[in-house]
Amino acid sequence: MSKKHTSLISELRGKLKTCDSSHELSNIKSYYLGKNGILADEFIKLKSVKLSEKKELGMSLNILKNEMQDLISQKLNLLSSENDKDIKATDVTLPGKNISLGSRHPIAITINDIMDILGSYGFTSVEGLEIEDEFHNFEALNISDNHPARDMHDTFYVSDNKLLRTHTSSVQIRSMMVAEPPLKIMTPGKVYRCDSDPTHSPMFHQIEGLHIDENINFGHLKGTLIHFIKEFFGKEMQIRFRPSYFPFTEPSAEIDIKFKGKWLEVLGCGMVHPNVLSNVNIDNKKYTGFAFGLGVERLTMLRHSITDLRMFYDNDISFLSQFKDLK
């Protein structure tokens, strides 16, 4: 390379050394490599040199051109990788991002608690179908076609004979039809009724209990449920059994608890009606049993003093996160 060209290279090196922005670099690039730049000027000289010098000058010019291009593109890479570093740099002094953990829904917490308690009494969990037929939801439970109790159920029909189950009592029937006594089951699940206000929702949860064996009597029912309520609320509650009526139990009762000075109903129960046992081919002379059905939303509302049941379904994080510390 000619002396002139070598000095142009060192001049360029000097400029690149102090260059620290891509804007400046692009100015340098057009100064040397641009259409009317230094390199172009040097190439023009090629036309006027003697033939004997042309070859040498041409070679020197090519080296000059390559070297200039290399130096500029190296600098370009350097600047852009420094830029990347700036972007990716992590400020370790910044506070970390909070990962907020979800929590169980209060209804799920109540279901788990109830199942833990009943499970410890020997009840095993069974799930049935949410779309039921009239036989399992009504007829087999001693609620015949024109029984007035059907009106109380505000049923959603899917088709003529298919409906959204109105209670988990239908699972009693399904279970008794496939298993021989003794039978001791609890059946958590969703149920549906065409009803909506602060204390009713078209979909809610129930847990049904059923215990069938020889010599089961009302004392077993009372013992089980009194114990259950004490464990669920975590303390001795004032409680009363009030005579009631359900087509599928005889005798039937409802349990009320004293809550803020008022008696409030918490569950229905009774001795399984002999007709129900015979409907599922269980010998009602040999076997007896008790059943109960409780509303999960209702128990959760009582436990946490919640006044509007619809809050359970609004998915409002500030409401739901209050149950975070419960298991």
Q: Which residues of this protein are in contact with ligand DAH, per CB under 6 A?
A: 167, 169, 208, 246, 249, 268-270, 291-293
**Nearer Cβ to ligand DAH, position 181 or 268?**
268
**For ligand DAH, the closer CB: 128 or 268:** 268
Q: What is the DSSP letter of 34?
A: S
Question: Within a 10 A sphere around the Cβ of 19, how many other Cβ atoms?
Answer: 18
| Residue with smallest beta-carbon separation from ligand DAH | 293
Closest approach of ligand DAH to the CB of residue 301, in Å: 16
Nearer to ligand DAH, 106 or 247 (CB): 247
Task: Let me know: does 248 contact 142? Beta carbons within 8 Å.
Answer: yes
Minimum CB separation of residue 298 from ligand DAH in Å reads 11
- Cα distance between residue 97 and residue 83, in whole Å: 25
Q: Which of 41, 39, 103 is nearest to 66 (CA)?
A: 39
**Least distance (Å) between residue 253 CB and ligand DAH:** 8
Shortest CA distance to 298 belongs to which of 232, 225, 222? 232
Nearer to ligand DAH, 189 or 270 (CB): 270
Minimal distance, residue 260 CB to ligand DAH, in Å: 24
Q: Nearest distance from residue 99's CB to ligand DAH, in Å?
A: 41
How far apart (Å, rounded) are the C-alpha atoms in residues 269 and 290? 7
CA distance 44 to 39: 9
Between 29 and 205, CB nearer to ligand DAH: 205
Residues whose CB falls within 8 Å of the CB of residue 23, separated by 6 or more in sequence, listed in order: none
Q: Closest CB to ligand DAH among 8 and 172? A: 172
Q: At its nearest, how many Å lie between ligand DAH and the CB of residue 194?
A: 14
Q: How far apart (Å, rounded) are the C-alpha atoms in residues 122 and 187?
A: 13
> What's CA 144's distance to the chain center, in Å?
40
- Bridge partners (DSSP) of residue 213 are 288
